[in-house]
Amino acid sequence: MYKDNLPHQNDLPTSRQLAISTVVALVTATVLLVTVVLPAEYGIDPTGVGRALGLTQMGEIKVQLAEEAKIETAEIVELQEQPKEMSLISPQSVEAPAAESITVMLAPGEAAEVKLIMNKSARATYAWTVDTGHVNFDTHGDNAGIDYHNYSKAKAVSGDEGELIAAFDGSHGWFWRNRSNETVNITLNVSGEFTAMKRVL
C-alpha cells in the first residue's frame, strides 16, 4: 500500500537538474548578498546598485552609529577607571531634597560628564536641554565595585527629562558628546535626593 504512494523514478529530478538548481540558488544568493545585504548592513556597494536603491546610505549610517557607540562606551569605561578629581557643587543633605543647575559648553567633538552622589533607591528629577545643535548622551551610574550601569542613551538629541532612581549607592548621571558642527551649551536642572553634584569631565 505504501509503495503505491512513492514517486515514479521518471518523476524524480535528474542529477543534472539538481546541479542546475543548486547553481541557480548559489548565483541568486550571491547576487542578493552583493546588491542588497552588503550595502544595507555594512555600506559596501561594489556594484553601485545598493546606492541607487538607497541601501548603501542606510548601511553607512548603521556602521557609523556602531563605531560611535563603541568609541563612547570605551571612553566611558576608561573614564570610570581613571582617578576622578571631584568638583563638588553645593553639597546638600539627603534628608531635604536638593535642587541644582549647571551649564556646560562643548565645542564640536568635546565631551562632559556630570554626576550626582546618591544612595540606593534615591530619586532625582532631571531635565536638560541643548541651546543649539545636538549631542549624544549616556545616562549611567558607577561605584567602587561597579564600573558601568546603563539607564538610558541616545544619539543626536537636543534634550531629555525624567526621573533617575539610583540602582545602588554611588555616582549617577550624564555623559554628553557634542557630535554637531557647532558649539553647544547644555543646561541641566536636577532636584531630589542627592548629596552632591559633581562635574567629573
What pLDDT sits at residue 90? 45
Give per-residue pLDDT as tens, 143-152.
Answer: 999 999 999 9
Torsion of CA 19, 21, 23, 28, to 10 degrees: -170
Domain locations along the chain? 10-79, 88-199
The amino acid at residue 64 is Q
Q: Is the pTM here over 0.85, yes or no?
A: no
What pLDDT sits at residue 101? 94
Phi, psi (deg, nearest 5) at residue 6: -75, 140
The CATH code that applies to domain 88-199 is 2.60.120.380
Q: Which residue has the cell 545602588?
A: 168
Of residues 70 and 180, more confidently modeled: 180
The model's confidence at residue 30, banded by pLDDT at 50, 70 and 90, is confident
Give per-residue pLDDT as tens, 73-85.
Answer: 766 666 656 555 4
d(CA 43, CA 57): 7
Give per-residue pLDDT as tens, 127-181.
Answer: 999 999 899 999 999 999 999 999 999 999 999 999 999 999 999 999 999 999 9
Q: How many CA atoms lie within 13 A of 87 on its CB side?
A: 7
Mean pLDDT of 29-43: 71
